[in-house]
């Protein structure tokens, strides 16, 4: 009985830890990798915009998940809004850890079922940026 109780406690603590929100370092690293820290950046022939380089389709999907109607053209340039969209988007597709969230952001909705290498190079860049920023 005692073992079972500890197992349940560890399971609950593990679930709570895995559901923790991303760190500031992850947001900063993805922003640096995506836009070089430029909130007004555009890429992919104008299809990706803002500090997190979000495309209109991903923005709409994230806003649906977050149950808001944020205008893409108005808010995509905002770090705060872009970070919230990142959270909603990655959460909608089951990404929890920093690596999962980065891979999901880069690969898209099928990040978990695609080959392990899908998003792997991207994650390596993000991880290197997190380590570079560490004090």
pLDDT at 116: 63
Q: How far is CA 85 from the centre of its chain?
A: 9
Q: Bigger pLDDT: 114 or 116?
A: 114
Q: Bigger pLDDT: 8 or 38?
A: 38
pLDDT digits (tens, 9 = 90+) for 31-68: 999 999 999 999 999 999 999 999 999 999 999 999 99
Q: Which fold has domain 21-133?
A: Lysozyme (1.10.530)
User: For all residues of the chain together, what is the average pLDDT?
Assistant: 85
Q: Bigger pLDDT: 88 or 115?
A: 88
pLDDT digits (tens, 9 = 90+) for 14-34: 443 445 667 899 999 999 999
- 73-79's contacts with Cβ under 8 Å and 24+ in sequence apart are 76/49, 76/50, 77/39, 77/40, 77/49, 77/50, 77/51, 78/39, 78/50, 79/31, 79/39, 79/51
pLDDT at 130: 95
Average pLDDT over residues 68-81: 98
Domain ranges of the chain: 21-133
């Amino acid at each position: 009985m005692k073992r079972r109780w500890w197992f349940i406690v560890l399971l609950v603590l593990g679930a709570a830890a895995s559901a923790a929100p991303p760190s500031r370092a992850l947001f900063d690293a993805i922003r640096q990798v995506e836009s070089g820290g430029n909130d007004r950046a555009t890429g992919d022939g104008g299809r990706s915009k803002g500090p997190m380089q979000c495309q209109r389709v991903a923005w709409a999907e994230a806003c649906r998940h977050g149950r808001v109607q944020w205008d893409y053209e108005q808010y995509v340039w905002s770090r705060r809004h872009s970070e919230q969209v990142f959270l909603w988007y990655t959460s909608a597709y089951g990404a929890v850890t920093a690596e999962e969230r980065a891979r999901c952001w880069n690969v898209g909705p099928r990040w978990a079922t695609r080959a392990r290498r899908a998003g792997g190079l991207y994650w390596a860049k993000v991880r290197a940026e997190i380590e570079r920023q560490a004090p």
